[in-house]
Structure 1
Amino acid sequence: MRIVIDPGADEPPYAQIRDAVAGQARDGMLPAGTRLPAVRALAGELGLAVNTVARAYRELEQAGLVETRGRHGTVVTARAAGASAEATRLAGQYATATRAHGVPPEQALDLARAALGL
């Protein structure tokens, strides 16, 4: 798994991690069942706070793209590996648009859930 954080990007580091993992899973670079690095290990490797990586993993898990298995770590789900490229692109556009309009992330997620009838 290769993740590069751009400190000058408009997107916060946790979102860059989330998007990188989701993209690599979608592109087949991280097949279903692939174990992700431990939160602390990835945080150290990227020079980020543990909570930053934990948030990215939490959002990936909430989206069903990874599954945490306790001591066995966090693994990529089959859903992530088969995610539609178009759906991923549209989700990225939605995230960019809501950030541009100053919508807080939790509110943007609530809006998306409501639109999906969840």
Structure 2
Amino acid sequence: MTINERIKQLRQELNLSQAKFAKEISISNGYIAGIELGKRNVNDRIVKLICIAFNVREKWLKTGEGSIFEEQANQLSELATSTFKELKPEYQEYILKQIDQLLDIQHREKGK
């Protein structure tokens, strides 16, 4: 089974029309139809969009190995990481300081 066929399988399993599936990942209906027909290649951007939007394991999407869906914690972690990488360095520093403060609060709450 090709990645194109797995995308069609996923869409059908989610019970989504091509239009709704395409809208969720911000591509055109025609593009998703082309993917499913094997007329369009699937690039890394589309793979990432599908994985994030539908909680799909990237390895399954690319190779067919393993289970289709990710656990929720992994999806959140990947989303946080990819978003963090897009930030300017000074914003990254700010986020890290905020995380440290939240960890301190959490540790104090556990001590109560």
Q: Answer 1 or 2: higher relative contact order, Cα 8 Å, separation at least 6.
A: 1
Name the structure where strand makes up a greater proportion of residues.
1
Shorter-chain TM-score range: 0.3 to 0.5
TM-score by length of 1: 0.31
Which protein is bigger by CA-based radius of gyration? 2
